[in-house]
Amino acid sequence: MFKETQYTNPDGSVVTIFLGDRAKIGDRAKIGDRAKIGADATIGADATIGDRATIGDRATIGADATIGADATIGADATIGDRATIGDRATIGACATIGAYATIGAGASLHGFCGKYHFDVYDGKLRYGCLTMRMAEWIGKEEELCATHDRNVLPNLKRVVRTAVAFFGDGRAQ
């Protein structure tokens, strides 16, 4: 449950924000208009939260971190000191983004794990030659590896775990 309130930023500007119970906003933090900060969430000193950003319940935003406009930080996620999360990026529940890390605008995740490249974007995961919605990968790694390449099972499980941590399971899409 959010309570609509007026917040005065360090520059004197006044914005409307939605604040959950027991949420804490650190000294000199700048909060964007219409931002939502969940129950028991903590915003560090000198952090910047963009317009319409959503910070989940019990999430922690480190000191001097920047969360872009329309970004979403999931419940119980931790964003390290001086990390930057771009506009419209989504960080899943329970994810940890380290200090000084940068996650780009409209974030997607790309990489190479073992034998295959992978991409995570728009609620989908592509691993090797196979692209499916995130929810379709979860719990089916062994079955998929048996069909394609059993040797990559540990890598595929790691990719799926990481993708879910960053972007959620995609079931809400």
pLDDT in the model for residue 165: 76
Domain at 2-103, CATH class: mainly beta
Query: Encoding tokens for residue 8?
Result: 């005065």
- Give the dihedral of Cα atoms 51, 56, 12, 88; nearest 10 deg: -20
SS3 state of residue 104: coil
Note whether 73 and 83 are within 8 A (CB). no
Note whether 86 and 107 are within 8 A (CB). yes
Which residues have a Cβ under 8 Å from the Cβ of 134 and sit 6 or more positions away? 120, 123, 124, 125, 163, 164, 167, 168, 169, 170, 171
**8-state DSSP, 134:** H
Please name which of 29, 56, 27, 52 lies closest in space to residue 40, comparing C-alpha atoms: 56
Residue ranges covered by each domain of the chain: 2-103, 109-167
End-to-end alpha carbon distance in the chain: 23
pLDDT in the model for residue 147: 77
Split the chain (173 residues) into runs of 10 and give each run's mean pLDDT.
95 98 98 98 98 97 97 91 90 80 73 73 78 86 81 85 76 49
pLDDT in the model for residue 107: 67
